[in-house]
Structure 1
Amino acid sequence: MGKIVSFATQKGGSGKSTLTLVLATSLAVDYNLKIAVLDCDYQQSIVKTRLHMDAENLEQLKESDPDASYPYDIFPMAMTKIFDFIDDPENSNKYDLIILDLPGRADANEIFDALTACDVVFVPLVSDYLDRASTADFMGILHSIKAVADKEGIDFSYYGLSTKRTNRREDKEMDEYIEQIGLSRLNSSLGLRAAYSRPSTLFSLQNPAFLRYAGGDKAVSDEIKSLCEEIIQKLDLPVTDLTTIKDATAE
């Protein structure tokens, strides 16, 4: 059965949909994982990215390769339909990883319920003061879910994921704050880089040609690779040899 995760927080602008796009594409393209993204956000930004940015590129690819296709599946979905999807054995057996893109809020029962469907929730950590306060509130929600999950013997974890890092005083304050509240977080992080504003559901930012188009450099590729591989290890996803994949993506 595949793992279910979300990059979630209760504050908009934290980069959760961008994280979903960047990582889903890389995990599918560079690590050959079978991915489904459930776009439950009211803005439907992931669905729109595929329809308005990537559809034309796919048609161009098909001119030289008729079998070209998107590397993973995206489903626009109401949150009330999430459990119907993940409880369907055909879906749970088809995908290695199902990613829920949820609205940037946590004031509705349906969002709380969606979070309980996850094996792991990754919380984007932005160093702005208001984001830190919002993160603390969201941690309370996740802590209550984990307390119930632990009591019932259900696996549930959550980790902070530092984003938009700029090596400034705010980043240091965020680091100190996260240590203070005792939040486990990933070692990998993403900086505040222009390339992340041009995510694709078709091309990975580990692809040198698309990386150049997006205005990125090796630091971008290295960040994504490090984050993908840490997530693969945390979730025990079925990638058998990361060393072989590293060599292939470096060519």
Structure 2
Amino acid sequence: MEKETLFIAFSTQKGGVGKTAFTVLMSSYLHYVQGLKVAIIDCDYPQHSIFEMRQRDMEQVMKDNYYKQMAYQQFTSLKRKAYSVVSSRPENAISKAEEIIEQAQIQPNIIFFDLPGTLNSKGVVKTLGGMDYIFAPVSADRVVLESTLKFASLLNENLVSVGKGNIKGLHLIWNMVDGREKNELYQVYEDIIGELGLNILKTFVPDTKRFRRELTTKHKPVFRSTLFPAHKSLLKGSNIDVLAKEILETIKLQ
């Protein structure tokens, strides 16, 4: 009997903290490197930035022989196609995911959901309640931290703690970590997070410009793409591989 597909969201109500980047990076790493079968429901209406990224990636591959050869080599070595990226409104996201599962020849291990950055958007709370796991990126910036803690506390109090919905775990992730900052600062924040009854993963993701590296005509190593995993030269030191391992352990797929 096949394992049930897990529904996972990197979610927060503070923009620019990395929820969309994590969705793409984790999906590509787990699908193309770790061999898991993944899909994405882009319900970050109306911009649908991941769905548009897939379109850009496809256009770049189709018109550029360098990337076309890369895609061919990847397809033949992995013997698997690119993962699905489907656009949806938040209120329809769960039914879209169920369609993907029903139509798939091989059931996905994980479907990631990229949701709008506000709980006030129609259907967001209901869709979050349908997740198995929620990971909320957070940085040591006070405004970001306060916003994310408020967001996570609301979900914890209204969904997780009272057993509403399917949520098995809600975890924060340190993102945009400045290596020059003292560890004591993060320990203080983690004590506050613990007092609120929230959990945070051990892995720290550094603040680095490599997260913006997409497919370009200059053929530089790519970091963020829906068709390729992060290049090994850029993956080193990014902690994306370490984070992926911790997430798989957390969701019990490791």
The verdict on a shared fold, with TM-score over 0.5 as the criterion, is yes
Q: Give runs of aligned pairs for residues 36-185 of structure 1, distance below 5 A.
A: 36-41=39-44, 42-57=46-61, 60=65, 62=68, 65=72, 68=75, 70-88=81-99, 90=102, 94-143=107-156, 144-149=158-163, 154-169=166-181, 172-182=184-194, 183-185=198-200
Are residue 187 (structure 1) and residue 202 (structure 2) matched? yes
Structure 1 residues 217 and 140, CA gap change in structure 2 (3 angstroms): closer
Q: Which has the higher helix share?
A: 1
Superposed CA deviations along residues 14-50 of structure 1, whole A, max 9, x for unmatched, are 1110111111100001111111101111321111211
Q: What corresponds to 1:229 in structure 2?
A: 245
Shift of 1:104: 1.2
Partner-residue secondary structure (3-state), 1:149: coil
8 Å Cα contact 1:21-1:46 kept in structure 2: yes
Structure 1 residues 175 and 44, CA gap change in structure 2 (3 angstroms): farther
8 Å Cα contact 1:37-1:101 kept in structure 2: yes
Structure 1 residues 127 and 71, CA gap change in structure 2 (3 angstroms): same
Determine the C-alpha separation between the residues in 2 that align with 1:54 and 1:188.
Answer: 32
Partner-residue secondary structure (3-state), 1:200: coil
Query: For the aligned residues, what is the CA RMSD?
Result: 2.6
Partner-residue secondary structure (3-state), 1:163: strand
Q: What corresponds to 1:5 in structure 2?
A: 8
Structure 1 residues 217 and 77, CA gap change in structure 2 (3 angstroms): closer
What 5-or-longer segments of structure 2 have no aligned partner? Answer: 214-223
Shift of 1:175: 4.0
Shift of 1:78: 0.9
8 Å Cα contact 1:71-1:202 kept in structure 2: yes
Determine the C-alpha separation between the residues in 2 that align with 1:167 and 1:66.
Answer: 37
For 1:218, which of 203, 222, 236 is the aligned residue? 236
Shift of 1:172: 4.7
User: Please, which moves more after superposition, 42-51 or 56-65?
Assistant: 56-65
Determine the C-alpha separation between the residues in 1 that align with 2:69 and 2:81.
Answer: 15
TM-score by length of 1: 0.80
Q: What corresponds to 1:201 in structure 2?
A: 226
8 Å Cα contact 1:58-1:70 kept in structure 2: no
Shift of 1:70: 4.8
Structure 1 residues 167 and 62, CA gap change in structure 2 (3 angstroms): closer
Partner-residue secondary structure (3-state), 1:148: coil
Determine the C-alpha separation between the residues in 1 that align with 2:73 and 2:201.
Answer: 40
Q: Which has the higher strand share?
A: 2
Shift of 1:125: 0.9
Q: What corresponds to 1:249 in structure 2?
A: none
Determine the C-alpha separation between the residues in 2 that align with 1:58 and 1:181.
Answer: 47
Determine the C-alpha separation between the residues in 2 that align with 1:67 and 1:177.
Answer: 42
Determine the C-alpha separation between the residues in 2 that align with 1:227 and 1:62.
Answer: 29
> Percent identity at matched positions?
24
For 2:24, which of 21, 39, 42 is the aligned residue? 21
Determine the C-alpha separation between the residues in 2 that align with 1:142 and 1:91.
Answer: 31
Determine the C-alpha separation between the residues in 1 that align with 2:183 and 2:134.
Answer: 21
